Amino acid sequence: MFTAEHAIRRYRETRRKITPQRIAVFRALEGNTSHPSAEDLFESVARSVPGISRATVYNTLETLRELGEVREYHFQADFRQFDPNTAPHHHCLCTDCGRVHDVHGGDFGTVRLPAGRLPFRADSFSVTFYGHCDRCGGAKSSRRGRVAAHSHSSHM
Amino acid sequence: MFTAEHAIRRYRETRRKITPQRIAVFRALEGNTSHPSAEDLFESVARSVPGISRATVYNTLETLRELGEVREYHFQADFRQFDPNTAPHHHCLCTDCGRVHDVHGGDFGTVRLPAGRLPFRADSFSVTFYGHCDRCGGAKSSRRGRVAAHSHSSHM
DNA sequence: GACTAATTTATAATAGTTCTAGATTAATGG
DNA sequence: CCATTAATCTAGAACTATTATAAATTAGTC
Ligand SMILES: [Mn+2]
Ligand SMILES: [Mn+2]
Ligand SMILES: [Zn+2]
Ligand SMILES: [Zn+2]
């Protein structure tokens, strides 16, 4: 689990300096399940560290990614999103508002490459569901909360 | 299945004009399993239609996407990729060279949202495997062709 | 073949990200 | 503490994919 303390330890281990700017980015990521973009994090961090540069936020995110402390996703075309939760989990992307929810805790079925001779060695995978979130449920399904409980399966 | 003829039919149906530029883009997409970017398609099409503008390629792709004739993916951060195969299928993204392979024809398991009360209505989903392709197999696994036959499963 | 709205083109604008050079500072050790 | 110095930070320029604009061209229609 990502914590500012853990990130600081990793930075020390790898002979990197601990700066107020970096700590602020770590804190902004701690427990953050919103899959923020670099700009999101910049805006959030700039409140506690006025004058921080975007470059610093970008650089810190890149380092954390190299260290394997955050994972980068490309849910949308226009910006990258970061997730301090590096454990494998699925995501739901609302195609209306762009919000991304984690999926965890249930029976999600299995995902595997066919045992056949596919010319590829897979290290990991990611599953993204596209649809509509709670708040965007849509005009026709204004009966919130029920609509949500939807199951989706496939056997491609 | 996407064909230039089918795209032309759809363009006629929706009162859009058939131009040499558009036909060239249709042809470039026909049977294309490389998941090309707009720039890839521009370069390819520019050979047969010198002077074509990038804007035309972008506009045509956008229209095809609206018509549901191609699907747009965000495998990488820096550009969008298009797939004329709109049937649901999985993908393998080589994290070395960026090539994307389709996955189809075997037993891939099932994917579903937990039947519980997840506040989300899913319309579709996409599965992406990350790893190393045939050609990029890596130094340690130069024994190509065997490495490939790898199976990956999960029950998160 | 003429008409006209749709399309195309070249180019400017935009947005996210990366690069750069000079100013600042964390870490080290006397 | 203070001095040293390599690492870091900042502001802003540069870069890249994409979108917007406006004027020129053309597909479709009669
Ligand atoms: Mn997540
Ligand atoms: Mn595909
Ligand atoms: Zn939403
Ligand atoms: Zn490869």
Per-residue pLDDT at A152 exceeds 70? no
> Which residue has the closest alpha carbon to C20 C1'?
A55
For chain B, give the mean pLDDT.
Answer: 85
Mean pLDDT of A110-136: 82
What pLDDT, on a 0 to 100 scale, did the predictor assign at position B148? 22
Least CA distance to B145: which residue of chain A? A119
What pLDDT, on a 0 to 100 scale, did the predictor assign at position A150? 22
| Minimum mean pLDDT range among A149-153, B18-22, B41-45 | A149-153
The predicted-structure confidence for A104-119, as pLDDT tens digits, reads as follows 866 666 666 665 667 8
Q: How far is the CA of B29 from the C1' of D22 (A)?
A: 30
Mean pLDDT of A29-46: 98
What pLDDT, on a 0 to 100 scale, did the predictor assign at position A24? 98
Contact A74 B72 (CB under 8 A): no
Which residue pairs from B135-138 have beta carbons closer than 8 angstroms and sit at least 24 positions apart in sequence? B135/B97, B135/B99, B136/B94, B136/B96, B136/B97, B137/A121, B138/A121, B138/B96
Per-residue pLDDT at A67 exceeds 60? yes
**What is the band of B143 on the pLDDT scale with cuts at 50, 70, 90?**
very low
DSSP 8-state code for residue A105:
S
- Sequence-distant (6+) residues with CB within 8 A of B22 are B7, B11, B56, B60
Contact A101 B120 (CB under 8 A): yes
Q: Chain C positions under 7 Å from a protein CB?
A: 6-11, 15-20, 25-27
Phi-psi region of A109 (alpha: psi -120 to 50; beta: other; left: phi over 0): left
Task: Compare B3 and B103 and report the one with higher pLDDT.
Answer: B3
Identify which of A75, A77, A101, A81 has the alpha carbon closest to the alpha carbon of residue A90: A101
The pTM (predicted TM-score) of the whole model is: 0.88
Domains, chain A, ranges and CATH?
4-76 (1.10.10.10), 88-156 (3.30.1490)
What pLDDT, on a 0 to 100 scale, did the predictor assign at position A119? 83
Partner residue facing A92 (CB), from B89, B122, B151: B122
Least CA distance to B116: which residue of chain A? A149
The predicted-structure confidence for B9-35, as pLDDT tens digits, reads as follows 999 999 999 999 999 999 999 999 999
> Of the spans A36-45, A139-148, B96-105, which averages the highest pLDDT?
A36-45
Per-residue pLDDT at A43 exceeds 60? yes
Ligand 3 centroid to A92 CA: how many Å? 10
Contact B101 A118 (CB under 8 A): yes
CB B45 within 8 A of CB B35: no
What pLDDT, on a 0 to 100 scale, did the predictor assign at position A104? 80
What pLDDT, on a 0 to 100 scale, did the predictor assign at position B118? 77
Partner residue facing A111 (CB), from B111, B113, B145: B111
